[in-house]
Amino acid sequence: MPQNRLRCVAILLEIGPGKPEDPVFNLAKHNVRAAFDAAKRRARRAHTRDCKNAGKAPDPKFLANLRFHDLRAEGVTTMLEAGLTPAEVMEFSGHKTMHVFLGYTRFRKLELARKLSERNEGGKSGS
């Protein structure tokens, strides 16, 4: 078992009773989906309220296309931006091939521009 996975198991064992193979969250798939949908509805209501308070028209498309599965891509991207290596993120996310893993990356233009700028300032322009 990889070292980082062993650390995770040790932490989970400290948190509470159970076997290492037990689920961390004892939730059925439909409960997770229902919680996501409820959070999305709350966020849309808050957006509508905040826009009205600011005297602006709410965007009817706000979070309209957000799917639960989009969170996986967001998590992968956030971990990469935090400095984890692709191999570390793949271990965490469960991706087995780089081809599939790369389909979950959503690099942000501003983040890429910042990194390129930092490299150029550090004399690592590559030319």
The 10s digit of each residue's pLDDT in 72-120 is 888 898 888 888 899 999 988 888 999 998 888 887 766 777 778 887 7
Residue 10, both tokens: 């040790």
Q: Kindly provide the b/e burial profile for residues 107-120, where b requires at least 16 CB atoms within 10 angstroms of the residue's own CB.
A: eeeeeeeeeeeeee
Place of tokens 């159970």: 18
Closest listed residue to residue 58, CA positions, set 45, 71, 42: 45
Q: Which residues contact 118 (CB under 8 A, 6 or more apart)?
A: none
- Check whether 21 has a pLDDT greater than 50: yes
